[in-house]
Structure 1
Amino acid sequence: MILDLLTVVFVALLASALTCRLIIWFGPLDHPNIPRKQHGSATRTSGGVGIGVGYAIAMMVLLRYSAVWQYEVNPHGARLLWTSAAFSYPLLIIGFVDDALDLPATLKFALYTLISFAAALFIGPISTFPLGGDIVITIPYVVAAAGTALWIFTLINCVNFMDGANGLAMGSVGFGLVALACISLAHGVPSGAAIALCGAGATLGFLVWNFPGGRLFAGDSGALFGGALAAFASLIVIIRAGVSPFVPAIVFFPLLADALITLAWRIWRRRSLFTGHVEHHYQLAIRGGVKREVVAVCYWAATIACGALAFFASGEPDFAAEWLALLGLIVLALTLSAFTHQWARERGLIDP
């Protein structure tokens, strides 16, 4: 089984890297025509198409040749995989069109909302939250469906918001998917490992051209597709492995924390959520003189650490470990956010 999964990782990487090379020749251009775009010259974008091609080819190889799929993945797991793909690729297409035409923000958010709700209903709402011991919170179906849709919507948008430095968002997604794959395998769920490792391999193929040189950007197509893979892999792991819903939030915490704390801060300062800005923590670090590559690697390291924390917490017999770990991360993130904003104010990067 491990050999099969490693093979499809390599297939996804190779197919993604080759497709991304073609996009560097023929893909749409991202011009630095607004302040939040900090690259110096027009750069090819829509590397997400390469990620999507790599993922699709790897899944087809898995379906046709892998013993994992034929003997280990049961019909329910296979249905979840194909359902997740059915909702991931429309997001890739929307992102590709947006890369080329710059769609209105309100239209994009409406489409994201519609796809998120449809995916939540087809994949299945998450309705139980174990808190440790015999304490389990069960929420009504309608609330669970809305909450599951909110998870999908939030993660795809957070990845999109954080895709502003070479390798940062997509590398973090890739490492997070590897963590989910490890958790899936530890719980005997190859379907979760399949979507996660195929996505991780395809993401790595894109990073060959993106980090550190920035010859190709992921674009909205890559950010939306990568966010969708992360969201759907999370749901499959929760549903099939029976892990706590808090586990995926721990895995992708660095991306979620930066994006959500920044949005909350902008709401507090009465600033528009539909206007581009350079106030994310990673953007403040870059504007303050920290190299983009260093910032990206720091987020990768944070994601690896959170993935390891999620892996060990998910193996604890008492589910309290998951929500306590998440609570500790939230306290840490708020503390670091306060420090970062103070540091940025002292350097005139944000208003006092």
Structure 2
Amino acid sequence: MFQDLLTVVIVALVASAIACRLIIWFGPVDHPNVPRKQHGQATRTSGGLGIGVGYAAAMLLLLNNSSVWQYEVSPHGERLLWMSAGFSYPLLFIGFVDDAVDLPASLKFALYSVISLAAALVIGPISTFPLGGDVVLVIPYLAAILGAALWIFTMINCVNFMDGANGLAMGSVGFGLVALGCISLANGAPSGAAISLCGAGATLGFLIWNFPRGRLFAGDSGALFGGALAASASLIVVIRTGASPFVPVIAFFPILADALITLVWRVARRRSLFTGHVEHHYQIAIRGGLSRETVAVAYWVATSACGVLAFAVAREPDFAAEWIALAGLVLLAIILSAYTHNWARERGLIDP
């Protein structure tokens, strides 16, 4: 089983890398024509197409040519694999169109909402939240569906918001997917492992061309597809392993925290959520003098640490560990955010 999985992960990486090389020759171009775009020259974009090609090649090979995995993945698990692709690829297409013609924010909001709700209905809700001991919070079906849709919508947007420095967002997604894959394997859920690790392999194939030189950008196609894979893998891992819903939040915490805290900060100052800006923490760090490569690696390290924490608490029999760990991360993020914004205001990097 592990040999088959390793093979298809390598296939995902190689297919993605080859497809991304073709995009560098023929793909659309991203021009630095607005302040939030911090690259200095026109660069090929829509590297998400390469990630999508790599992921598709790996999953088709796994499901059609591996007798071991056909046995290991139950029919329900195989349906989950196709369900995850069924809403990830429409987002890939929307992102590709947006890379080319810059779709209105209101239209994208509507499309993301509809696809997120449809995906939640198909994949299924998570209606129980273990809180420790024998305490379990049971959520009504409708609320659970809306919660799953909100998770998908949040994940795809957060990855998109954070895709502004070479390797940062997609590398963080890759590390988070590796953590989910390890959790799935440790808990006997091969379908979740297949989605997570094949997605991580395809992402690495893109990063070969993206980091550190930035010869190719992921574009909205990559950010939306990567966010969709992360969101679907999260739901499937929780459903198939019985892990706490807090576990995926921990695994992807650095990019979630940066995006969501920045949105809250902008709302508190009555600033539009539909206009581009340079107020994310990673953007402040770059404007403050750190290189894009240093900032990206810092987020990778933070995501890796959170992935290890997610794996550890997922293996802990007392579910209280998950929400205690998450609460600690939230407190740390708030403290770091307050310090960062005060530091940036003192140096005139952001408006008061």
For the superposition of Structure 1 and Structure 2, which TM-score range results when normalised by the shorter chain? over 0.9
Q: Secondary structure at the match of 2:137?
A: strand
**2:139 is the counterpart of 1:142:** no
Any unmatched runs of 5+ in structure 1? none
Shift of 1:167: 0.0
- Could you tell me which residue of structure 1 aligns to residue 267 of structure 2? 267
- Could you tell me which residue of structure 2 aligns to residue 197 of structure 1? 197
- Could you tell me which residue of structure 2 aligns to residue 125 of structure 1? 125
Q: Secondary structure at the match of 2:41?
A: coil
Shift of 1:2: 1.2
**2:61 is the counterpart of 1:57:** no
Q: Within 5 Å, give how 1:89-168 maps onto structure 2.
A: 89-168=89-168
Give, in whole Å, the separation in 1 of the partners of 2:332 and 2:211. 28
Give, in whole Å, the separation in 2 of the partners of 1:180 and 1:215. 29
**2:330 is the counterpart of 1:312:** no
Shift of 1:235: 0.4
Residues 172 and 300 in structure 1, CA contact (< 8 A), matched pair in contact too = yes
Shift of 1:300: 0.2
Q: Cα deviation per residue 1:17-45 (whole Å; 9 max; x = unaligned)?
A: 00000000000000000000010111000
Q: Cα deviation per residue 1:199-230 (whole Å; 9 max; x = unaligned)?
A: 00000000000000000000000000000000
Amino acid in the other structure paired with 2:350: I
Q: Secondary structure at the match of 2:130?
A: strand
Give the root-mean-square deviation of aligned CA atoms: 0.6
Shift of 1:345: 1.1
Give, in whole Å, the separation in 2 of the partners of 1:93 and 1:83. 16
Shift of 1:70: 1.2
Q: Within 5 Å, give how 1:39-58 maps onto structure 2.
A: 39-58=39-58
Shift of 1:69: 2.3
Q: TM-score, normalised by structure 2?
A: 0.99
- Could you tell me which residue of structure 2 aligns to residue 330 of structure 1? 330
Any unmatched runs of 5+ in structure 2? none
Amino acid in the other structure paired with 1:343: W
Give, in whole Å, the separation in 2 of the partners of 1:176 and 1:260. 17
Give, in whole Å, the separation in 1 of the partners of 2:201 and 2:311. 20
Q: Cα deviation per residue 1:31-84 (whole Å; 9 max; x = unaligned)?
A: 000000010111000000000000000001101222342110001111111011
- Percent identity at matched positions? 80
- Could you tell me which residue of structure 1 aligns to residue 69 of structure 2? 69
Q: Secondary structure at the match of 2:129?
A: strand
Residues 68 and 190 in structure 1, CA contact (< 8 A), matched pair in contact too = no
Amino acid in the other structure paired with 1:295: V
Q: Secondary structure at the match of 1:131?
A: strand
- Could you tell me which residue of structure 2 aligns to residue 187 of structure 1? 187
Residues 177 and 197 in structure 1, CA contact (< 8 A), matched pair in contact too = yes
Shift of 1:347: 1.2
Q: Within 5 Å, give how 1:26-41 maps onto structure 2.
A: 26-41=26-41
Amino acid in the other structure paired with 1:329: L
Amino acid in the other structure paired with 1:59: M
Residues 131 and 323 in structure 1, CA contact (< 8 A), matched pair in contact too = yes
Give, in whole Å, the separation in 2 of the partners of 1:324 and 1:3. 36
Shift of 1:350: 1.1
Give, in whole Å, the separation in 2 of the partners of 1:74 and 1:339. 49
Give, in whole Å, the separation in 2 of the partners of 1:162 and 1:67. 39
- Could you tell me which residue of structure 2 aligns to residue 87 of structure 1? 87
Q: Secondary structure at the match of 2:131?
A: strand
**2:235 is the counterpart of 1:241:** no
Give, in whole Å, the separation in 1 of the partners of 2:171 and 2:298. 11
Q: Cα deviation per residue 1:168-218 (whole Å; 9 max; x = unaligned)?
A: 000000000000000000000000000001100000000000000000000
Amino acid in the other structure paired with 1:66: S
Give, in whole Å, the separation in 1 of the partners of 2:128 and 2:252. 20
Number of aligned residue pairs: give it.
Answer: 352
- Could you tell me which residue of structure 2 aligns to residue 227 of structure 1? 227
Give, in whole Å, the separation in 1 of the partners of 2:79 and 2:71. 15
**2:295 is the counterpart of 1:299:** no
Give, in whole Å, the separation in 1 of the partners of 2:138 and 2:65. 40
Residues 83 and 122 in structure 1, CA contact (< 8 A), matched pair in contact too = yes
Which is further off, 337-346 or 256-265? 337-346
Give, in whole Å, the separation in 2 of the partners of 1:300 and 1:155. 17
**2:5 is the counterpart of 1:5:** yes
Give, in whole Å, the separation in 1 of the partners of 2:166 and 2:119. 29
Give, in whole Å, the separation in 2 of the partners of 1:287 and 1:66. 49
Residues 4 and 67 in structure 1, CA contact (< 8 A), matched pair in contact too = no
Amino acid in the other structure paired with 1:250: I
User: What stretches of structure 1 move > 6 A for 4+ residues in a row?
Assistant: none
